[in-house]
Structures are given as structure tokens and as C-alpha cells.
Amino acid sequence: MEDDIKLAEKINSLLPYFNEDQKRIYLASEAKYLGRGGKARIQRLTGTSHNTINRGLEELSAGTVQKPNERIRKEGGGRKKAITPAIWSNIEAFFNRAFCLSFFLTFDIKPK
């Protein structure tokens, strides 16, 4: 139990300094070092998904190394840009026309 606390302190003190790839590799190396039950123990202590650790183990065994200038995530991810004012004015104009048309149809008024 005391060993788990020390291990968790060690790992959790280092993880904030790693990017995603480094984190996977580090956790996988710790799990490999612990041997049988190491993956489950690391998963329990850090709250990391077993898929993350498994992927790190695969990367360790394959010997893949990330180049320093490579992106970690693909481009285009994340939140999309907000609606621009020009697009919003087009949307507003569309709904205004639709509202006016439904108003005329509701009261059987013929627009000029």
C-alpha cells in the first residue's frame, strides 16, 4: 500500500510535464517494469485508460520515436470557428423572409 502511494506520487508529479505521446510511453514503461499486473496497477493509480497504456506498450515494442517537430494531434481538430457576422446576417435575412411569408399565409394576406 505504501509502495502504491509512493509510486502514484512519483508518476503524478511527472505527468504534467509530458505531452500525450510521452505520457503513453512513460506509463507503458512503468507498467512493463512492474511486470504482471503492472498495467492494472498503473491504470488504478493514475486513472489512465488501459487503452492508453496498451498503445504505449505497442509503441515501445515497435520502437517508434516521435520527431521533435512533429505535431501531436492532427490539424483541424478542436472547436470550429464561430459564425461570422456576414453569415449571421444571411441567416437572419432568411428567417425574416420565412417569418413574413408565414405571417402573410396565416392571415391570408397577399404581399405586394
Rounded Cα distance between 93 and 88, Å, is: 9
Looking at the structure, tell me whether residues 56 and 9 fall in a common domain. Answer: yes
Kindly report, residue by residue over 38-96, the tens digit of the pLDDT. 899 889 888 888 898 998 888 888 877 666 666 677 777 777 777 778 888 888 888 77
Residue 57 lies in a domain: yes
What is the arithmetic mean of pLDDT over 96-105?
Answer: 66
Specify if 72 maps to a domain: no
Looking up cell 489512465 gives 48
Residue type, 4: D
Q: How many angstroms separate the Cα of 97 from the Cα of each of 77, 90, 94, 100, 101?
A: 35, 11, 5, 5, 6
What is the model's pTM? Answer: 0.60
Domain that holds residue 28: 2-62
> Are 57 and 98 within one domain?
no
Question: Does a structural domain hold residue 68?
Answer: no
Q: Does 36 score more than 80 pLDDT?
A: yes
Same domain, 58 and 97: no
Q: Are residues 88 and 53 in the same domain?
A: no
Count of domains forming the chain:
2
Q: Establish if 92 belongs to a structural domain.
A: yes
